[in-house]
Chain A
Amino acid sequence: MEVNEELTMRLRELFRTQGLAVLSTHGEGGPYASLVGFAATEDLKGLLFATSRSTRKYANLMGESHAAMLVDSRSNQDSDFHNAIAVTATGKAEEVTETDRDALLKVYLGKHPHLAEFVGAPTCALLRLAVDTYYVVERFQHVVEIHVNQ
């Protein structure tokens, strides 16, 4: 079944209003979770984030590029149980190529202008999770999958 416009709009709205995502990676030491500033690409097929190349998450991704990111709209109130939406994106995360870097950096900094200095450092990498599936959880227990053709 094709994804309806309303659901795509909800995803866009969520990605626009949330600044942070939980990134899950896997390395020799086992699974690992970190909080990252993220931005979605216009076509919703990629989620961008930046990290120093010396971090555990970066090391993990260099060994195993499969990763997951969780973005949600929780407000830490009881009402989250019926109101919040949570989206888990899975796919492969890789450093963006030189050709794509300028355009994607513009998208990323458009959302996080205060990170310009951080991302500009030679030791900082800009990565893109090429999403293969979004798992969308709404109304507490309602879950649909969106399979993305990259």
Chain B
Amino acid sequence: MTSVLDLHDIDEGQAERVGGKALALAKMIQHGIAVPSGICIATDAYDDYVGQTGLRERILLEINRKDFREMRWEEMWDASLRIRNMFITTPIPRPLAESLEPHITSRFASRPVVVRSSAPGEDAAKTSFAGLHESYVNVRGAEEVLDRLKLVWASLWSDGALLYRQELSLDVETSRMAVVVQELLSGECSGVAFCRSPNEATQAVIEAVHGLNQGLVDGTVEPDRWVLDRESGRIISHQPANRLQAVLPVGDGVELKPLSEAQASRPPLCDRQVAEVYTLARRCEALFGAEQDVEWTVAGGTLTALQSRAITTPVAGRGDEDRRWYLSLRRSFDNLRALRTRIEDELIPRMIEEADRLSQVDLAPLENGALADEIEARAVAHHTWVGVYWDEFIPFAHGARLFGQVYNDTVRPSDPYEFVDLLRDTEMVSLERNRRLEDLAGQLRADARLAERARLGTIDQETPFMRGLRAFLDAFGDPSRGAAVEERTRERLISLLLEMARRPRTASDAPAKRTESLVEAFLSRFQGEERTRAVELLELARASYRLRDDDNIYLGRVEAQLQAAADEGRARLAARGMAGTGHLDPQDVIAALRDPTFAPKPGGSVQERRREFQLEPRQLTGQPAGPGVATGKARVIRGRADLFEFKADEVLVCDAIDPNMTFVVPLATAIVERRGGMLIHGAIIAREYGRPCVTGVPDAVDLIRTGDRVTVDGYLGIVVVS
């Protein structure tokens, strides 16, 4: 049985083999609706590929490394990236390729085609994978088509698709994908028609752009928009776009090109064409018996449907909000560039300014009521900046990911994280802070008498060491908090420096030469304008990588101001005789300062009972996030105070590292983190210092105890407790 079918020959009985998109196209052809001619490569070919190459089990091993419910979105992205690289680096077995090639060659020769996903279940009335699987436009020749075929197959395992399947409880183990290959129609204009407006059930909406509709679908080109009366088809309103660019086929892909003045000045469709598109959409609705979202193009003056699928109702509930936020992280290059400017030129300076402004307020003379107001104002400021962090800074982290994907597609390295080496050549605030700590520790290391005096607390305030210490605290504050310096902090910092002095200087491990040669090898694959764009993308990715670390340091400064004010409040409450003030949250501190009779709700106490079955870790699985292997005593960090207990050569075990904690990394022999991801702070800083690192270990801080002897295998992503 051949796995290649002509769209004309597909019927309902083959739905599971050809997927929703191919079946819909076949139905349209059978009912006289014009669609670009094409073929479907059925799911059998996917099965043969993953079966013959052993990929099926490799994928399932990757997906099942961890309970799916415990995976964070960053871990899903990582799993997805690793799986995508498996597809990129695993060739289609020769016999399978030879069974596909003749169909592609005889049908399309070297004419440009579009390669699109058609997964069973995709585009069904209840589910829509719209935008989650990949499509490739303007592909020529069998070899290139087969190459893109693998990438479309891989998109079955994209992070978004994984998440979506999890939400709908679709079976990951039996997921398969068919692929449609169609002639590319190089349309003068293209767009989408919604038979029913998402906002108003009695209306329909048509959106159109000049050129191909990729720009509209991925949001880079703003469309003209017509609202129509669903019943009569009458145009109710036309909202023209700010027409600047169009996506056009160029070389072996597509590019965003500026529009000519003439094009920019006229809408992509005239009123007659709007009516024609609407008629087409209603024909599709009648054919499929449900309201449709129809993609179309006008090429050589002829309207052709590209695909039609049912309009789905979004999954209700909070999960959907999370998903939408998650999908909003997939930003385009241009969008990320604008975001970078906003973050670097506007948001970070404003955040620093805010922290500085707050630190100017002298808390001591404030009356209790005024102090409560000050804590409240700082809590609001902190809350606002946490919001900015989620809405703007985290999405910007996608810059490093976007680069990773381009790098892997171009270079096809065996290690899917090789791209991180190209990002390391950046200056991060946390590294500068650690270098200055190392300089201070170096003075203690070189001068035994100085170290002894530091240990005894008899060091002269005017020594270069103490002057350096004060300068450090002025610049960085308490390294675990970013500010709020007090006497205790100075003492704790000196004992940390003494600990650092016990071992040789640790330098960040960036192998500059390797980075340089990787960058050159990457850029050499591009020429002319493409090379310029590749350089820009690398630059953007480096900014994204750097900022992912720095933003926390700056946010930490704002948080430190909130803590400083809350600490002042706690001290006053303790002086008043209130018990347990150390654990009061800022809201309780505010309430207690305003109302002397306020009593916080007591926390529940957990009763110990005899444990018949006691769980002990032996070998915990996480993600390999920093290569290398090391053994040492675990130091479990539960609070900031634990950081100052850290001893040289211990293994840092924590829930989630933020850059305000990474000053102990030079002391650590390895890092274990509950939070998962390859591009999280723990992993970034571990790579900088060449420390083995395993992230995404569920219950790491509960299962591992301080003092346990642990081996961290950063190659396999496992932590062995002995």
Q: Measuring CB to CB, which residues of chain A are less than 8 angstroms from any residue of chain B?
A: 1-4, 7-8, 43-45, 78-79, 81-83, 135, 139-149
Contact = CB atoms under 8 A, between A and B. Distances in A.
Contact of A146 (B66, B614, B716, B718): B614
B417 to A, nearest CB: 19
Contacts of A43: 612
Contacts of B618: 135, 143-145
A149 B611 contact: yes
22 contacts: A1-B614, A1-B615, A1-B702, A2-B614, A2-B615, A8-B613, A45-B612, A78-B56, A78-B57, A79-B60, A82-B57, A82-B60, A135-B618, A139-B66, A140-B621, A141-B619, A143-B617, A145-B617, A147-B615, A148-B613, A149-B610, A149-B611
Interface string B605-632: 0000011111111111100000000000
A142 B619 contact: yes
Contacts of B63: 82
Contacts of B173: 79
A147 B702 contact: no
B65 interface: yes
A146 to B, nearest CB: 5
Given A78-B56, A81-B57, A82-B57, A146 B64 contact: no
A149 B613 CA distance: 6
Interface of B: 54, 56-57, 60-61, 63-66, 173, 610-621, 699, 702-703, 716, 718
Closest 8 CB pairs of A and B: A143-B619, A82-B64, A78-B57, A142-B621, A143-B618, A3-B613, A145-B616, A147-B614
A139 B621 contact: yes
A81 B64 CA distance: 10
Given A1-B703, A79-B57, A147 B613 contact: yes
Contacts of A7: 615
Contacts of B716: 141
A54 B57 CA distance: 44
A139 B79 CA distance: 15
A118 to B, nearest CB: 32
A146 B613 contact: yes
A3 B615 contact: yes
A76 to B, nearest CB: 13
B527 to A, nearest CB: 43
Contacts of A139: 64-66, 621
Contact of B611 (A2, A135, A140, A142): A2
Nearest to B703: A1
Given A139-B621, A143-B618, A148 B612 contact: yes
Contacts, number: 80
Contact of B615 (A83, A141, A146): A146
A18 to B, nearest CB: 20
A149 B65 contact: no
A72 B526 CA distance: 52
Contacts of A143: 617-620
B610 to A, nearest CB: 8
Contacts of B718: 141
A95 B716 CA distance: 42
Contacts of B66: 139
| Interface-central residue, B61, B610, B703, B718, by most chain A CB under 10 Å | B61
Contacts of B57: 78-79, 81-82
Contacts of B616: 1, 144-147
Contacts of A82: 57, 60-61, 63-64
Given A82-B60, A82-B61, A139-B65, A2 B613 contact: yes
A140 B699 CA distance: 18
Nearest to B717: A141
A3 B688 CA distance: 37
B127 to A, nearest CB: 25
Given A78-B56, A147-B615, 5 more contacts: A44-B613, A82-B61, A140-B65, A140-B621, A148-B612
A145 B612 CA distance: 13
B584 to A, nearest CB: 28
Contacts of B621: 139-142
A144 to B, nearest CB: 6
B607 to A, nearest CB: 12
Contacts of B699: 1
B708 to A, nearest CB: 12
Nearest to A139: B64
Contacts of B612: 43, 45, 148-149
A142 B54 CA distance: 22
A77 B716 CA distance: 23
A147 B612 CA distance: 8
A142 B61 contact: no
A139 B698 CA distance: 13
A45 B612 CA distance: 9
Given A140-B621, A141-B619, A145-B618, A81 B611 contact: no
| Interface-central residue, B56, B612, B620, by most chain A CB under 10 Å | B612
A46 to B, nearest CB: 13
Contacts of B610: 149
B613 A81 contact: no
Contacts of A147: 613-616
Contacts of B60: 79, 81-83
A73 B613 CA distance: 22
Contacts of B613: 2-3, 8, 44, 146-149
Nearest to A77: B57
A145 B57 CA distance: 27
Contacts of B620: 142-144
Contacts of A148: 612-613
A79 B621 CA distance: 18
B615 A145 contact: yes
B703 A81 contact: no
| Interface-central residue, A8, A142, A145, by most chain B CB under 10 Å | A142
| Interface-central residue, B616, B703, B716, B718, by most chain A CB under 10 Å | B616
A9 B63 CA distance: 23
| Interface-central residue, A1, A81, A83, A135, by most chain B CB under 10 Å | A1
A137 to B, nearest CB: 8
Contacts of B702: 1
A147 B54 CA distance: 37
Nearest to B699: A1
Nearest to A43: B612
B216 to A, nearest CB: 40
A139 to B, nearest CB: 5
Nearest to A141: B621
B427 to A, nearest CB: 37
Nearest to B66: A139
B61 A81 contact: yes
A20 to B, nearest CB: 24
Contacts of A1: 614-616, 699, 702-703
Nearest to A44: B613
A147 to B, nearest CB: 4
A93 B614 CA distance: 21
A149 B614 contact: yes
A3 B614 contact: yes
A146 B615 CA distance: 5
A139 B68 CA distance: 12
A7 B65 CA distance: 17
Nearest to A146: B613
Nearest to B63: A82
Nearest to A45: B612
| Interface-central residue, A43, A45, A145, by most chain B CB under 10 Å | A145
A43 B616 CA distance: 19
